[in-house]
Chain A
Amino acid sequence: MTEAFAIEARDLTRRFGNFTAVDRITFNVRVGEVFGFLGANGAGKTTAIRMLTGLLAPTSGQATVAGHDVYREAERIKRDIGYMSQRFSLYDDLTVRENIRLYGGIYDLSGQEIRDRTARMLGRLGLEHAADQFVRAIPLGWRQKLAFSVALLHQPRVVFLDEPTSGVDPITRRQFWELIYDAAARGTTVLVTTHYLDEAEYCDRISIMVAGRIGALGTPRELKQKFSADSIDEVFVRLARPDVHPPASPPERQA
């Protein structure tokens, strides 16, 4: 398949009773792109991701992931995506190797593939010495990197990362982003949500969600220009709280 977009969403909507968690969002993610999903807690990021990964059925709208329709081909989507949530996805009473073997089996890899990829992954992470340690015994930062690598084990075309770096120290966060770039360089499309706004600068393009809608979408540079802001942080605050920082009135004027 040679479609240009790894993810296409058109008016994708999800309502819970009267509450509209995601309100007609439309966006495309190009193949191999690192696409950031920003927004305050409750802005609808996680709901959007859950719809795209097949965990949640949309109320209306269309979406395809890796060329598969989210309504009709949820099972095919599941084979082609990787997913890592803010909550931990590895079993801490299994060893590193056993975790990899479990997920390899779930994604139908052969024993040989699992062994090869385990060796390669542990080599890349520098975790060879810990292969037979219980996951609970290795430091949190390593565990997050391992979880990410396990999410990529079956070489998915798109990987969804839902706040993968929450609770991780800055150095590990930086290393984590290196892993993300590696994956993107190998052609994996990455959709990542975060509430660390400095991380937004690492993305090729970002969308900022406000109250279920996409408030802004573009490269970090475009957004900063458009909102005449110095950082994504400022863009975010202006979007999320227009009453506090009216874009047209710089602070100097009030003095």
Chain B
Amino acid sequence: MKALAGLLRKEVYHILRDRRTLVVIIALPVLQVILFGYAIRTDVDHVRLAIVDPEPDAVTLALRGRFTAAGVFSIVAVVPRPDALESLFARGIAQGAVVFDGGLAEKLARGLPARLLIVADGSEPNTGSIVRAYAAAVIEAYERERGGAPRGGALIVPNVRMRFNPTRESSNLFVPGLMAFVLTIVSSLMTAISLTREKETGTMEALLVSPLRPWQIIVGKVLPYLAVGFVSVIGVILEARLVFQVPLRGSIALLLFEGLLFILVSLSLGILISARTSSQRVAMMGALIGTMLPTMLLSGFIFPIESMPWPLQAISFAVPARWFVLVARGIMLKGVGLAYLWLATLILLGMALFLLVVSTRSFHERLES
């Protein structure tokens, strides 16, 4: 036990004395979540809208106000004739356009059909379709407030239904996935690099000829980094709440526990990788590829698992992040507890145990074969 305490103390010195690395380790997840969080969001925000309004009147002005009020659109140009749109789109000034008919208010007042055209930039299909849906929703809402659509539909009643989404709802989905993504990368890198560094410098050999058992060496590595990883977990959870306003409807204690468990799995993965490689560079590549790709592609964080072909779905069961994403979304968005998440929790626990046992084993193998 004294030997283990010494090892732990030594590792803490390593961590605390390498200030630059420590800052990177703790700040990186938080920064990455911000970067990816804003990059990956599918919500549209301040879409540049051009308005073609041949005869501005009360109705067109009211509608224009509606478009900007939601914060989704900002009007970049108001032109009298549609010909100007061509160049606005071509130069990328406008991403969408609303073309009003002349004399809209008068036609509506008389109950005559009036036309309104929504134009979206098809070269950005994602934004385009969202523009279409949002614009249609704005108009629909306006009409409903005016006392229901007149018969025959004075304005376009689109059959696209999409719930209006002024809050950035997609971050609710993405942020838990992102947390998994950045935590797994940083954690597996920490142990992989610190173990292979000892192999490279030769200190590992000194530990191996000593009476220390392989499990003591591994615990001596995992525990200190678990503490560092836990700080990162707290950091990204705070960030999810404060920056992305992701709700936390379930138990925060449970979320912290699951985060710790997920970190443990990732740290153990890093240990296993470093037990099988001898250079820091190889271990780093191994940890990056071994965590980044599966987490990005197979965790359900970006691409829904349900729409994957079954072989990929089968592989995704072995990706720790898949289970953590499930757990984090469950706790944060749905507010569920262990009653619903026990299976994923058990699987994560099993993975951690499995990886630790296998890496302890491969330490033995290294000594003996």
Contacts and interface: CB of A to CB of B under 8 A. Distances in A.
Interface string A154-191: 00000000000000000000000000000000000000
Interface stretch (A29-37, A86-94, A247-255): A86-94
Given A89-B203, A93-B17, A102-B10, A108 B209 contact: no
Which among A53, A79, A85, A89 has the highest number of chain B CB atoms within 10 Å?
Answer: A89
A101 to B, nearest CB: 7
A57 B2 contact: no
Q: How large is the interface on B (under 10, 10 to 19, 20 to 34, 35 or more residues)?
A: 20 to 34
A107 B211 contact: yes
Interface in B1-51: 2-3, 5-7, 9-10, 13-14, 17-18
Given A90-B203, A91-B203, A105-B2, A55 B10 contact: no
B211 A87 contact: no
Contacts of A107: 3, 210-211
Nearest to A53: B209
A83 B368 contact: no
A56 interface: yes
Contacts of B207: 106
Interface string B153-187: 00000000000000000000000000000000000
Contacts of B368: 56-57
Interface in A54-102: 54-57, 75, 78-79, 81, 83-94, 98, 101-102
Q: How large is the interface on A (under 10, 10 to 19, 20 to 34, 35 or more residues)?
A: 20 to 34
Contact of A88 (B203, B208, B212, B369): B203
A238 B18 CA distance: 51
Nearest to A162: B205
Contact of A108 (B2, B205, B208): B2
Interface in A92-146: 92-94, 98, 101-108
B252 interface: no
B141 interface: no
Given A88-B201, A88-B202, A105 B210 contact: no
B6 A89 contact: no
Which among B5, B9, B202, B205 has the highest number of chain A CB atoms within 10 Å?
Answer: B205
A106 B203 contact: no
A83 B206 contact: yes
B209 A55 contact: yes
Nearest to B366: A55
Contacts of B211: 75, 78-79, 106-108
Contacts of A86: 202
A54 B202 CA distance: 16
Contact of B3 (A53, A55, A105): A105
Contact of B6 (A75, A79, A101): A101
A89 B210 CA distance: 12
Contacts of B5: 105
Contact of A106 (B7, B17, B205): B7
Contact of A98 (B10, B18, B209): B10
Contacts of B210: 78, 103, 106-107
Given A105-B5, A108-B3, A89 B13 contact: no
Interface string B209-234: 11110000000000000000000000
Given A56-B367, A88-B202, A93-B18, A102 B6 contact: yes
Nearest to B367: A55
Contacts of A84: 206
Given A79-B211, A106-B212, A93 B2 contact: no
A54 B367 CA distance: 7
Contacts of A104: 6
A55 B205 contact: yes
Given A106-B3, A106-B6, A85 B13 contact: no
A79 B10 CA distance: 21
Nearest to A104: B6
17 contacts: A55-B205, A56-B368, A81-B209, A83-B206, A87-B201, A89-B202, A89-B205, A91-B14, A94-B13, A98-B10, A98-B13, A102-B6, A105-B3, A105-B5, A106-B7, A106-B212, A108-B3
Interface of B: 2-3, 5-7, 9-10, 13-14, 17-18, 201-203, 205-212, 367-369
The 8 A-B residue pairs with the shortest CB-CB distance, nearest first, are A87-B202, A105-B6, A89-B206, A83-B209, A57-B368, A78-B211, A106-B3, A106-B210
Interface of A: 53-57, 75, 78-79, 81, 83-94, 98, 101-108
